Amino acid sequence: RQIEVFREVNYTGDPVSLFVEPEAVQSLRVDVSDDNKILINWKKIKGSSIKYNVYRSRSPISSGAELEVAEKIALTEKNEYIDGNIPDYGSYFYAITVTDKNGIEYFNPKNEQNFTSNGIYLKGKSLATPLNVGAFIGDKNSIIVKWEKSESRTGKDLQGYEIYRSD
């Protein structure tokens, strides 16, 4: 029997991909526990051999470029993670990416679905409060601010002070 072949009728001229990209993480929730650990969970994705990458940063991770400079803190098969190794107090932002069975990582940023846009604030000890603060009028419309150095309450060396002015 002879079969006539017609391009784009009974055969395709373009390759057909049977690959389906995994869906993005949804319903990301981030909370602080009573013992200052960050509890992170999200909706589980359908599919086999899916792994999740957990990223942490001091600023929002809302793009691929920001993801590249964020710290990858975990690779897990579960749809939850506890970040108990926080380097310091302050605000942290998280993003979750998906890795498929071929090891390909996917990140399609969706606000509050797979990344946090509001920082999670972790309370901690304040580094130090300067002692005996005084302000004096100086030369040429300047003000001199003096204080005594105090000891750090976190065990870390003080790197400097931040001074704020209000009108």
Q: Which residue has the higher pLDDT, 143 or 13?
A: 143
Mean pLDDT value of segment 83-102: 88
pLDDT at position 112 is: 84
Q: What is the pLDDT of residues 118-164, one digit of tens each?
A: 888 877 655 667 788 888 888 888 889 998 877 766 666 777 777 87
> What is the DSSP code string of 83-152?
E----SSEEEEEEEEEE-TT--EE----BTTTB-SSPEEE----S---EEEEEEE-STT-EEEEEE----
Q: What is the pLDDT of residues 56-82, one digit of tens each?
A: 999 999 999 999 999 999 999 999 999
